[in-house]
Amino acid sequence: MCKILFRRISAADAPFLAAYGAACDGITDAAKLSRLSARFIRSVRSSCYMGVLAMAGRQPIGFQDGVVAGDTLELSEIYVHGRYRLRGVGLGLIRRILAIAKARGLKRAFLRTEPDNVAMRRLGRKAGFRREGLLYVREL
């Protein structure tokens, strides 16, 4: 297996992110995929966006992104290609984005996951997160 490198996400990574998003949502229409890619480019260029890409050679194999609000980073999406799961890539992504957030002066980070997502809960604990409180949600 080749060495895994982690780097900040740039607008050039939008096609990979869009393809991932499209696959998750079952989007196959080329026009919708193009709009999704344009949306990712806008997001990546926003000062509120932060993201890290995992690369195996020249191939993107995963990413972690989040949104900055004040002095806090909210981790949102994390994805690791199936062939690279359980090899430390997810933990590497989280550690790298947290290092970038700390260097930027952010004071805290949080992540949300579903109660039945045991793998994400375990990964969060490995990355130093602790469970705190409950989340209440209301549909509008």
Average pLDDT over the chain reads 89
Query: What global pTM score does this model have?
Result: 0.86
* Angle ∠(36,25,116) on CA atoms, nearest 5: 130
Question: Higher confidence at residue 123 or residue 140?
Answer: 123
Q: Specify the higher pLDDT residue, 133 or 24.
A: 133
Backbone angles phi, psi at 23, to 5 degrees: -65, -40
Phi and psi at residue 114, in whole multiples of 5°? Answer: -75, 145
Q: What is the largest CA-CA distance in the chain?
A: 47
Average pLDDT over residues 77-90: 91
Q: Is 138 helix (H, G, I), strand (E, B) or coil?
A: coil
Three-state DSSP class for residue 8: strand
Question: Residues 2-30: what's their mean pLDDT?
Answer: 84
Taking the domain 4-126, which CATH number applies?
3.40.630.30
Is pLDDT above 90 for 124? Answer: yes
CA-to-CA dists, residue 38 to 13, 29, 42, 111, angstroms: 11, 14, 6, 26
Q: Determine the average pLDDT of the residues in 12-35.
A: 81
In the chain, what are the domain boundaries? 4-126
Residue-level pLDDT at 35: 84
Q: Which residue has the tokens 């409180």?
A: 133
Work out the pLDDT band at 1, boundaries 50, 70, 90.
low
